[in-house]
Amino acid sequence: MLDPRVTERRNPRSADIDLASQLAIVDLINAEDRSVADAVATQREPIARAIELAEAAFRSGNRLFYVGAGTSGRLGVLDASECPPTFGSDPEMVQGIIAGGPAALVRSQENAEDRPDGAEADLKAAGVRAGDFVLGIAASGTTPYVWAALAHARRMGARTGILACSPPAPERVADVDVAILPITGPEVVTGSTRLKAGTATKLVLNTITTGAMVRLGKTYGNLMVDMQATNEKLRDRAERLVMTTCALDRPAARTLLASAGGHVKVAITMHKLGLDRDAARAKLDAAGGVIRRVVADAPPPVEQA
């Protein structure tokens, strides 16, 4: 019987993969992967809507929650965990909730996705409230844990969305504020949604958080000016950013960064407007954090290799 979930169907192109050479396996998987970006591109409008919902949540002091099980849950936790070091965001702003809890990040807890009662408890523990945006991630479109989480989020007054690589039931799609459905087709290994579906999921999540953070002013052009300089590599990057944007040598950039409390965006604003740290922060806050609304200069042109 043909499974209605696209992600559970057999892929005719990989039916003989068990007879393939190492190189043939690489070529087969790579050929399948090439279709993933096109599938994601079909969802450009709902992804943009998700960016809008995430930005609105952030600007009102609320949060973005990813909720999923298995690979979907792990990818949500991964994207959430990468936002603070990349954008200098509060760890509370983007959070990942995975069925089975933290243990499921490193060891499969497959039965956790079938426990809808666990979803409500997990969202209550996270304090999901009105104004938050909760995005459920369910590659197959059917995960009970995810749909229970979305139902609870709606009851709390949160906005909701679903990200799935197989079309969910229409009545379920009608219940959410946004549905992102990159249909990636049958996997190379039947049902292994860590493959194409997982790649599509990561692309979508990267786009949502990057888009929302850019809209919040976390970049200056495409420069990462709100990052946290927490190690030597990032401290070097912060100094180079200030050197490039303010035309300073490294010692001067280091001094300016120190006076800005290590914050690149504040340092740039201080230098370009001749302000002290508090005044620069006040200017940025009044402009919604967007540096281009405060500093008239465009970022320096891209250096050609």
Catalytic residues: 82, 113
Contact 88, 242 (CB under 8 A): no
Beta bridge partners of 219: 224
Contact 177, 160 (CB under 8 A): yes
Residue-wise over 128-163: b if at least 16 C-beta within 10 A, else e?
beeebbbbbbbbbbbbbbbbbbbbbbeebebbbbbb
In terms of Cα–Cα distance, which of 270, 273, 298, 294 is closest to 283?
Answer: 294
Q: How many CB atoms lie within 10 A of CB 7?
A: 25
Helix (H) or strand (E) holding 144: helix 144-156
Quote the CA–CA distance of 133 and 60 in Å, as a whole number: 11
How many other CB atoms are there within 10 angstroms of residue 202's CB atom?
Answer: 17
Burial zone of 228 (CB within 10 Å; 0-12 exposed, 13-18 middle, 19+ buried): middle
